[in-house]
């Protein structure tokens, strides 16, 4: 399994409202893709300028195909409307998962 995790720091906490509709469309389209196990964005409870990213994919190929999907163009265009102060997102291959 591939886990994509990280965060972006928005210049303005209100910017999330400017892309909320596009984010909802991006999440729905991504969740419908083959190989997508989960796809989520969330705002940090303690810091409303931080948007957390969590994705789970069955394989590297599924993740790579995700980046080529047409809905990605609309999402990238929407993101041009806001300013990020920081972007840290990593993809990790997980060999084992346990419930805790």
Domain assignment present for residue 66? The answer is: yes
In the chain, how many domains are there?
1
Q: What is the pLDDT at residue 31?
A: 98
Domain assignment present for residue 63? The answer is: yes
Domain assignment present for residue 83? The answer is: yes
Domain assignment present for residue 98? The answer is: no
CATH number of the domain within which 30 lies: 3.30.70.100
Enumerate residues 6+ apart whose C-beta is below 8 A from 97.
1
- Residues 60-100 have pLDDT tens digits of 999 999 999 999 999 999 988 899 999 999 999 998 889 99
Predicted TM-score of the model (pTM): 0.90
Give the range of the structural domain holding residue 62, as residue numbers without chain letter: 2-93
Residue/partner pairs of 19-26 with CB below 8 Å, 24 or more apart: 19/78, 19/79, 19/81, 19/82, 22/74, 22/75, 22/77, 22/78, 23/75, 23/78, 25/71, 25/74, 25/75, 26/71, 26/72, 26/74, 26/75, 26/78
């Amino acid at each position: 399994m591939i886990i994509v995790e990280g965060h972006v720091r928005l210049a303005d906490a209100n910017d999330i409202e400017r892309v909320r509709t596009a984010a909802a469309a991006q999440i729905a389209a991504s969740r419908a893709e083959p190989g997508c196990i989960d796809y989520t964005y969330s705002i940090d409870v303690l810091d409303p300028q931080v948007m957390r990213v969590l994705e789970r994919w069955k394989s590297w190929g599924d993740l790579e195909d995700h980046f080529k999907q047409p809905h990605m163009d609309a999402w990238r265009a929407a993101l041009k409307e806001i300013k990020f102060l920081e972007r840290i997102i990593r993809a990790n291959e997980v060999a084992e998962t346990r419930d805790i």
